[in-house]
Amino acid sequence: MAHEGASNETDGSLQTEHRLIEPMLGCLEAIAARAMNDGTLDTASAAGVLTFFRVFADRCHHGQEVRLLFPQMESQGFFPTSGPTGGMRREHQEGRQHVVTIAEAAALVSAGGKPGEVSAGVSCRSTARIICIETGQSLP
């Protein structure tokens, strides 16, 4: 899905990054499903996936959108607080909160508690929904 007002190079790079993020969403959903189904959590895998989302998806990918894509779009007349860039900014914040929720659920399990099944599952699905909206994909 091309972003109106974005250069082809920037848009192509962002689309490539979306393709790298998508398999990690599958990993995150599999980790959450296992926690929900049998009450176990692979804390090392969960930590790795969460680090990926914090560093690559948020700092690198979302950072690039904020630094490169949004100014291009806004120079074409889009408003930073509404429209597509405003919506994506809100989605970035929602994604950060989902990662925090999942990390909290993982910390509870690591401390011997029960997984935050509903919160983790909802957060994984919501994070996947946000990425799908950005990439023009649909959830299975």
In the chain, domain spans: 8-135
Angstrom distance (rounded) from CA 99 to CA 87: 18
Q: Which residue has the higher pLDDT, 51 or 106?
A: 51
Structure tokens at 41: 């959590």
Check whether 138 has a pLDDT greater than 70: no
Classify domain 8-135 at the CATH topology level: Four Helix Bundle (Hemerythrin (Met), subunit A) (1.20.120)
**Mean pLDDT, range 48-68, rounded to an integer:** 93
The alpha carbons of the chain give a radius of gyration, in whole angstroms, of 16
Sign of the torsion formed by the C-alpha atoms of 48, 89, 22 and 15: negative
Q: What is the pTM of this model?
A: 0.73
| DSSP structure class, residue 78 | -
